Every structure is written in structure tokens, then in C-alpha cells.
Amino acid sequence: MVKRSPYEETIDGMKLAIRQLSLRLQQFTLGVDLDIQHPRTAIFGPSGAGKTSLLEIIAGLRKPESAKISFNGQLFDDSGRNYSLPVRLRKLGYVPQYDSLFPHLSVQRNLLYGSNRKPKDHTLNFHHVIDFLEIGHLLDRHVHSLSRGENQRVVIARALLSVPQLLLLDEPLTSLDAKLKNAILQQLQALHREFAIPLLFVTHDPAEAIAICEEALLLQAGRITARGNPAELLG
Amino acid sequence: MMSFSPLEWQIVRFTLAVCAFSTLLILPVGLATAWLLDRYHWPGKLLVETIVTLPLVLPPVATGLVLLKLFGRRGPIGYFLSQHFDVDVVFTWRAVVLATAVMSFPLLVRSARVGFQGVDQRLEQIARTLGASDVRVFFTITLPLASRGITAGIVLAFARAVGEFGATIIVAGNIPGRTTTLSLEIFSAVQLGHDATAYRLLIVCVVVAFSAVWLSEVLMKRRSMG
């Protein structure tokens, strides 16, 4: 039976529109103008190409010099009108590269931190998410005692439990050994099928983009230089 | 030698109560000041930073004199309080609270600011992506993560208040049973040659100060290790 996501209706017509985005970085200016409509899209590029900056701007964590960004018709940023939707109202799950679990809270309290938003169906309930990511045995643990792989799974689960309308993943598999990377890769592959939440996946590893996404955007020195099927573009 | 007279007990209780009260009084203002100084740039910030630090570098007697002029019956604030609220400050227990609060305020602000500086602001951003409002982020992320610096500040402020002398004697006097604190009583006892009293109260001061500084050092070390 195909499960319905609370955002299934938006997935069919997902549209992240980024217009005239500009942000001066150390080596170059990030300049992006594009629409993202595939629910599993990779932003691929070498280190320092501006991938994380782009993701942070979408999440509202970084202010661009100029940009007009909307998601499914909801305006996120419009620098022309000096408008920026507060981060908490964007309903985006963000999985950063750095350790982002709250160190003073247990795993369970970390997971529940963002669970105030109510899902419209049962796919994103607490037990389903922790079963899916196989982290039930970690609930009472302190975050300092988690391995890197456990840590990443908890971060992904916490983002899911906040019932996001889009999941932003910033190189979530970096610094994991091959076995762990493979295990989490399989979970990320299944994640969209299970919860039907669109993903924007930043990576510099072609294999990850090919495994998870149906479209890849090639970002080089702050510009989108190519886009297409990940296997054709990066394979 | 170590048996306290009823008056000595009263002085110990009064000092600890007044110092606890003044520390509680400056806590919200001190935290707000530390947070504003750490997180924002605003016009006049340097001036506020300087004023906040002044009681640390001014002679306490000079600070006491400024307070006396401000809160005395003919001072601008004292006159206002007396006329509108029928409240006298100088030479009452309120003056002791005022003097200890002003003198210990910089220590609280400086430690709390170090605490806020140590908070990874990216975690606050992550909390916002999870739907938390700024108020919720402050109370559930910022404050707990800065708690060691804040606690150290509270402890240091309390200890400074217990040891306060110069400003207190100017603005509150040394009125037995009304404004006499541990420090003031030690001074009087030495002046009058009551060495046993002075030594007993000295031991109380040393125990309080030692405990406070030790606790503060432990908390700071745990913070830097964690």
C-alpha cells in the first residue's frame, strides 16, 4: 500500500524558485537563477563551490545580497522588498555537515524538540520514524556517546519529526566509513519513498547523487553550469 | 572561641540574605546586558560596556559616594523615591542591597558574557529550523548552554557582595542591627580590639569566599573541557 505524506499534494507540484540570487563569497560571487521541481535533487560540486551557502540561504540561515526565493508559492525571500520569512516559519528540515545535536539534551529530547508541528497523517509519527532509522535503542543515550553514524541518523530523524515540507541535506555522509555510509545511503534512498518528503541533497560524491536523486545540478565556482539526470551528468 | 553571639548570628544571616537578594535582583538585568553586549552591535554599546565595568576599577568608596549623591534624600533618585513612594534608601538595608548590587554587577555581566560567547550559534539556528521561536531558543538552547558561565557569574557576584565594604559604609553606614554586614562588623571589631569576634567572622568570610571561588573555577573548567 502506498503511504500518503502530509505533503504529497505539494510533492507532485513541488517548485523551489530561486531568482537572481547573489552572494559575494571569498573567491567568487554565488549567482543562481533556477527552478527546482524534482523531489529528489542533488546539488553537486567540488568543495568550496558554494553548495552549503546556497542551502543556508534557502533555509534562511544566511542573508544573500539579493534574491527572490519561493517554495510552492510561499515567498521565502524578496530582497527587493526587504522581506525574509523567519526561519521557523519556512518548515524546512535542515541536516548540516557539523554536529548539530543539542549537547545538553538526551537523544529523545533532541528528537522531540521540533515535533510541535502536527503531521496530517501517521507516516511521520515518532515510532515510525525511529523504527525506520533504527535508532530506538539510542533514545536514553546522551548525545556525546553516539558514534558519527548514530549521530547522523538522529539528526535526520529530528529533522523528519519537525514535519518539514522540504528536507535539506548538506553532505550528510561525509566523514563516515564506507560501511556506515552505505547503510545510511540505503535509508536515504528509502526515505523519500517512505515519507514522500522532497529532498535537496548537497554532495561532492557522484555515487551518492546517482543513488539518491533523479536530478543533479552541477555547481562550480558559484554558478550552475549543468543540470540533468545524475547518472548521465556525473556517471 | 567558635560560638557565635546572637548579634553575630544576626549579622551573618543579614549579610547572606542581603547578598542573595541583591544577586537575584541583578540577575535578569545582568543576563540581558550580557546577552545584548555579546550578540548585537548598537549605538552607545561601548559607553554601556565602560559604565558596566566602572565599579570594578573605581575605588569602592567613590562608587559609594556617587550612590549617596544619587539616592540621598536630596539626590535626584532618592528625592523621587521619597516623594512618590515614601521609600528611603540611604542608611537602610536597601542601601546595602544597592551597594552590593552595583559592586557585583560587573562580575555577573562579564562571566555571563563569556558564557554566551561560548554558545555555538549554529545550534540556535538549527533550533529555529525546527520551528522554535526566538524566546524558546533563548530559554531552551542559549541559556542552558551558557549556564556554566552564568552560574560562575552568580557565584562570583554573591562572593563579591559578601566582601563588599567601601561603597556600603558610605551609602548605608554601619548601624548595628540595621545595616551592619560581615565586613563592616569585622572592621568595627578590629577598631575596638574585639579580636575574637573579628576572627570568628573572618572565618565565615573565608569559608563563603573560598566556596564561591572554588565552585566558580570548577564550573569554568568543566565548561572548557566540555
Would you list the domain boundaries of chain A?
38-56+91-234
Mean pLDDT over residues A174-202, rounded? 87
Would you tell me the crossing angle of helices B93-117 and B45-57 to the nearest 10 degrees?
120
Put simply, the answer to whether B130 touches A159 (Cβ < 8 Å) is yes
The single-letter code of the amino acid at A3 is K
Chain A hits for B149, Cβ within 8 Å: none
Judged by a CB distance cut-off of 8 A, whether residue A96 touches chain B is yes
- Considering only alpha carbons, which residue of chain A is nearest residue B123? A100
Q: What is the pTM of this model?
A: 0.86
**Helices (H), strands (E): how many in chain A?**
8, 11
pLDDT tens profile A193-231: 888 899 999 999 999 999 999 999 999 999 999 999 999
Put simply, the answer to whether A102 touches B129 (Cβ < 8 Å) is no
B195, HSE (Cβ side, Cα atoms, 13 Å): 0
Residue A87 has pLDDT above 70, yes or no: yes
pLDDT at A5: 40
Put simply, the answer to whether A114 touches B144 (Cβ < 8 Å) is no
CB–CB of A54/A109 below 8 Å?
no
Look at domain B6-225 and name its CATH class.
mainly alpha
pLDDT at B224: 54
Residue A12 has pLDDT above 50, yes or no: no
pLDDT at B215: 81
Mean pLDDT over residues B48-64, rounded? 95
Handedness of CA A42, A44, A48, A50 (dihedral sign): negative
CB–CB of B93/B10 below 8 Å?
no
Handedness of CA A147, A151, A154, A156 (dihedral sign): negative
Mean pLDDT over residues B46-68, rounded? 95
User: Helix/strand/coil (H, E, C) string of A121-163?
Assistant: CCCCCHHHHHHHCCCHHHCCCEHHHCCHHHHHHHHHHHHHHCC
Long-range CB pairs of B84-92 (<8 Å, 24+ gap) are B89/B171, B90/B171, B90/B172, B91/B171, B91/B172, B91/B173, B91/B175, B91/B178, B91/B179, B92/B172, B92/B178, B92/B179
pLDDT at A4: 40
Q: Give how far B219 is from chain A: nearest CA, Å.
A: 15
Residue B220: pLDDT band (50, 70, 90) is: low
- Select from A98, A100, A114 the Cβ nearest to the Cβ of B131: A114
pLDDT tens profile A17-72: 999 999 999 999 999 999 999 999 999 999 999 999 999 999 999 999 999 999 99
CB–CB of A21/A69 below 8 Å?
yes
- Neighbouring CB atoms inside 10 A of B134's CB total 14
Residue A120: pLDDT band (50, 70, 90) is: low
Residue B110 has pLDDT above 90, yes or no: yes
Residue B216 has pLDDT above 90, yes or no: no
Would you list the domain boundaries of chain B?
6-225
Residue A6: pLDDT band (50, 70, 90) is: very low
Residue from A158, A100, A134, A190 nearest B120 by CA: A100
CB–CB of A185/A114 below 8 Å?
no
Q: Whole-angstrom Cα distance, residue B93 to residue A166?
A: 60
Mean pLDDT over residues B108-129, rounded? 96
- Considering only alpha carbons, which residue of chain B is nearest residue A61? B125
ipTM value for the complex: 0.89
pLDDT tens profile B157-208: 999 999 999 999 999 999 999 999 999 999 999 999 999 999 999 999 999 8
Please give the helix or strand (H or E) that residue A67 lies within, else none: strand A66-71
- Select from A94, A102, A103 the Cβ nearest to the Cβ of B129: A94
Q: Whole-angstrom Cα distance, residue B182 to residue B165?
A: 9
Q: Give how far A104 is from chain B: nearest CA, Å.
A: 7
Q: How many CB pairs under 8 A join A and B?
A: 52
Put simply, the answer to whether A87 touches B125 (Cβ < 8 Å) is yes
Residue B82 has pLDDT above 80, yes or no: yes
Residue A1: pLDDT band (50, 70, 90) is: very low
The single-letter code of the amino acid at A21 is L
Least reliable range by pLDDT among B43-52, B141-150, B151-160, B207-216: B207-216
Instruction: Give domain A38-56+91-234's CATH architecture.
Output: 3-Layer(aba) Sandwich (3.40)
B168 Cβ neighbours under 8 A, 6+ residues apart: B64, B95, B96, B99, B100, B179, B181, B183, B184
Please give the helix or strand (H or E) that residue A188 lies within, else none: helix A178-195
Judged by a CB distance cut-off of 8 A, whether residue B222 touches chain A is no
